[in-house]
């Protein structure tokens, strides 16, 4: 319904004509006819909603890790998850990330304004053994010349963090498997990181390996102050892999330690989206009869 304001301008809709203001001008637009969506279009839209539900979980889990993100991170993450879902052999509505090739998540950067490869000259290396043993390394690098530091008069020191997080999207729980931080002073000298995670991995989960670089300095009273420059919050998902029953059993047989932190639950809507897709497919199947 349209109304006329005190200034005489009309605002609202009359039939298929929409009246609105743009600054001090009145704009008329023709409203499009109702678009009839096909079954496939609706189903694809629902699956993208499923991808978004997965994305919400990942963002909530890693929010305190990546801290800063670029403006398009949410959409980029949802698109990467949707691409993973399309690799599954299962039908829409019957698949989650647990049924997919996770390659599209590997190398995902939360902040494209701070790409990890533009902040440090060397590249991390890692591998996962059949029993779940995870090895991570950062080849020798010069602390003064191989790291790109935030501009300014304050000398910042770098801290690297590597962590493994196990997620079960369908049963809605997450477990911090292990993590470690490596802090250095911004001085001339060589450094190198070699780290192993010898902890049991929960069967049926997806483990995501996250790696970040942060910068800090001590103020005049000796308190650690972290850089707030949004272009210096590089965080990347280095790897993502499925934990099979065999991998979990081998890790247990090797007497690996249990995960570092107890599992916690979350209440996001991956199962609810699966139910919504199933209900839609059932409804459409009844219409065909």
| DSSP assignments along 263-283, one per residue | -EE---SHHHHHHHHHHHHHH
The predicted-structure confidence for 89-126, as pLDDT tens digits, reads as follows 999 889 999 999 999 999 999 999 999 999 999 999 99
Instruction: Provide, rounded to the nearest whole percent, the portion of the chain with pLDDT above 90.
Output: 72
Residue 257 scores a pLDDT above 70: yes
Cα 107 to chain centroid distance, Å, stands at 11
d(CA 260, CA 227): 28
Tell me the pLDDT band of 282, cut-offs 50, 70 and 90: confident
Distances from the Cα of 66 to the Cα of 157, 206, 230, angstroms = 18, 19, 11
Side-chain-facing half-sphere of 106: CA atoms under 13 Å:
11
Average pLDDT, the chain: 90
- Averaged over 160-177, what is the pLDDT? 96
Residue 169 scores a pLDDT above 60: yes
Minimum mean pLDDT range among 22-36, 104-118, 190-204: 22-36
The predicted-structure confidence for 40-84, as pLDDT tens digits, reads as follows 889 999 999 999 999 999 999 999 999 999 999 999 999 999 999
SS3 call for 176: strand
């Amino acid at each position: 319904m349209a109304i006329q304001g005190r200034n005489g301008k009309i605002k609202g809709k009359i039939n298929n004509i929409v009246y609105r203001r743009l600054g001090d001008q009145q704009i008329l637009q023709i409203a499009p006819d109702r678009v009839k969506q096909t079954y496939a279009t609706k189903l694809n839209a629902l699956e993208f909603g499923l991808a978004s539900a997965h994305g919400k979980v990942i963002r909530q889990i890693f929010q305190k890790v990546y801290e800063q993100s670029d403006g398009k991170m949410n959409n980029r993450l949802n698109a990467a998850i949707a691409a993973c879902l399309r690799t599954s052999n299962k039908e829409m509505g019957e698949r989650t990330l647990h049924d997919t090739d996770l390659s599209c998540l590997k190398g995902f950067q939360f902040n494209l304004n701070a790409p990890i490869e533009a902040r440090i000259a060397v590249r991390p290396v890692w591998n996962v053994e059949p029993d779940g043993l995870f090895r991570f390394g950062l080849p020798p690098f010069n602390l003064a010349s191989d790291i790109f530091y935030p501009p300014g008069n304050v000398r910042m020191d770098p801290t690297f963090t590597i962590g493994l997080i196990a997620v079960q999207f369908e049963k809605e729980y997450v477990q911090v498997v292990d993590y470690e931080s490596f802090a250095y002073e911004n001085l001339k000298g060589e450094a190198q990181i070699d780290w192993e995670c010898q902890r049991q991995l929960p069967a049926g989960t997806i483990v995501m390996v996250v790696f970040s670089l942060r910068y800090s300095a001590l103020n005049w009273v000796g308190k650690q102050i972290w850089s707030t420059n949004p272009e210096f919050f590089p965080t990347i998902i280095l790897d993502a892999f499925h934990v099979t029953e065999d991998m979990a059993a081998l890790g247990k047989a090797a007497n690996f330690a249990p995960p570092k932190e107890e599992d916690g639950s979350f209440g996001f809507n991956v199962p609810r989206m699966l139910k919504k897709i199933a209900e839609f497919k059932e409804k459409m199947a009844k219409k065909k009869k």
